[in-house]
Structure 1
């Protein structure tokens, strides 16, 4: 029985990893811009999300060339490929175990999404710390492995789990809210659309709407997480105070535009690819 459940979960892991690979490669520049905005790299002082985003894009291309927009893509791959795989395999296993004969309701969908994301976030947090540092431009790490060793040697192993609370406060609610909105909006689609060839496009649109709502709600936690992981020794409570003192309430929404674009598009693409691949493998996602 356990083997029968494990085999589909492995397929879900593979489908999730592939969807994460595609979305990471496409949207890494948005993640880099978001991190630079939040840490105010290069003296950039954006007056608004849109202007700040364009200013950072131009600055990176001018000083680091076009490929500079993909700085940090290596740790992003190391984090996302297994991370999204863990997320979807955990989600699939939980759903099959608790809701094999029924459709999860709104609150049940929140718990499924939150539980799956919590597991993936904790496991992949060390790579998330390294990824954030790669993107901020303050560190000169040459490889993911070298960065992990450097952090352990200079700051101690505990530094690899810096920002754990802020990460969980960002990722767990995001995933729970996203899955709830996504499952409910998808279920509300007319049957003729759900069974038509345009169903993947309709699901993608549902994912975009869900991603925007979830991103905006969890944006402050993302800003706090970035500051904690980029500044060794800074605690979550201290980061919250610093952001408010330095930038006011609007400081908690720095980088909201690129993050919303990236998280929304990544989540929508990941879920669309995952569901299509699972369907081709004859499994119910």
Structure 2
């Protein structure tokens, strides 16, 4: 069946998957640096902001070569390509079902984005766990399938869903806040810009602003999620207590700079590509 005859939700899935592929390949090094910063052992001083990020970056290049920055890209692809596709197809389906004739309001946008992220997050959580373990450098898995098999055999299937609540506490608010800021900012643009050749740049700018706000608000939950998935014996509350006892409040901001850069740019690219592809296919995104 030709793409033009495909179901709109399938088109949304394909648009989302393509945008996720591009952004994952470009920004994987930032995700790896973020994970390494968050899982530094106590007593290691990561420095603040740019210094910590730079030192980890150089350390990875020095000890694991340049390609070491893309460690974990395989599970990232396995997670992102279908995950972003699931997210956008769910988002499109929910939006068409509930808001076919109008734009969602601020609270409705939060619920719309959060609902789509809940579906995608739960489905893709096992791969998210493997991705985090690949990036932290403490595990020596050979492949994604090998890692999945190893975790099931040594820790049980439940370990693949470690950090479920922490992941949802991070991703659902992030997506809800993101969609709210993005949709409301985009709706405030003059109509002549929205239909001009500057529309992609305007959409990208709105997406960047939304990504910055959502990333800052959900940063503590991301730190907790990383600790739970790297140390599956920890529960969410135990991880919160551990982070505070070891690093105090600043511990919840570890990895904020690379995460903000990565999440903001990935989301901006994904949404811009998604919007343009949907428009090219004649569908209202």
TM-score computed with the length of structure 1 as normaliser: 0.97
Match of 1:159 in 2: 159
Q: In the alignment, what sits opposite 1:18? A: 18
Q: Following the alignment from structure 1 to structure 2, what is the Cα–Cα distance between the partners of residues 63 and 46? A: 17
| Local SS of the residue matching 2:7 | helix
Q: Which aligned pairs between 1:187-266 and structure 2 lie closer than 5 A?
A: 187-266=187-266
**Counterpart position of 1:275:** 275
Q: In 2, Cα distance between the equivalents of 1:249 and 1:42?
A: 14
| Superposed counterparts of 1:47-86, under 5 Å | 47-86=47-86
In the alignment, the residues of structure 1 paired with residue 263 and residue 43 of structure 2 have an alpha-carbon distance, to the nearest angstrom, of: 25
Deviation (angstroms), 1:47:
1.9
- Deviation, 1:154, is 0.3
Alpha-carbon deviation of 1:42?
Answer: 11
CA distance in 2, matches of 1:236, 1:283: 41
The reply to whether residue 144 of structure 1 matches residue 144 of structure 2 is yes
Deviation at 1:196, TM superposition (A): 1.1
| Aligned mates of 1:60, 1:190 — CA distance in 2 | 46
SS in 2 for 1:135: helix
Cα distance, 1:41 vs structure 2: 6.2
Distance 1:22 1:42, change over 3 A: farther
Determine if contact 2:42/2:246 at 8 Å carries over to the other structure: no
Matched, 1:7 2:7: yes
Secondary structure of the residue that 1:240 maps to in structure 2? Answer: helix
Shift in Å, 1:6: 8.0
CA contact (8 A) 1:122 1:164 kept: yes
User: Displaced runs of 4+ in structure 1, greater than 6 A?
Assistant: none
Task: Using the TM superposition, give the Cα deviation of residue 115 of structure 1 relative to its aligned residue in structure 2, in angstroms.
Answer: 0.1
Q: Measure the CA separation in 1 of the matches of 2:219 and 2:240.
A: 13
Count of aligned positions:
281
**Aligned-CA RMSD value:** 1.3
- Cα 1:114–1:93 change in 2 (3 A) is same
Deviation at 1:193, TM superposition (A): 1.2
Q: Could you tell me whether the CA contact under 8 Å between 2:87 and 2:120 is conserved in 1? A: yes
TM-superposed deviation, 1:46: 1.5
Alpha-carbon offset, residue 232 of structure 1: 2.3
Contact 2:83 2:120 survives alignment (8 Å): yes
Deviations 1:124-169 (A, max 9, x none): 0000000000000000000000000000000000000000000000
Preserved contact between residue 36 and residue 56 of structure 2 (Cα < 8 Å): yes
2:97 paired residue number? 97
User: Does the 8 Å CA contact 1:41/1:136 hold for their aligned counterparts?
Assistant: no
Distance 1:226 1:202 in 2: 33
Per the TM alignment, residue 198 of structure 1 is displaced from its structure 2 partner at its CA by 1.0
Q: Which residue of 2 aligns with 1:120?
A: 120
**1:104 alignment partner, SS class:** coil
5+ long unaligned stretches in structure 1: none
CA contact (8 A) 1:41 1:137 kept: no
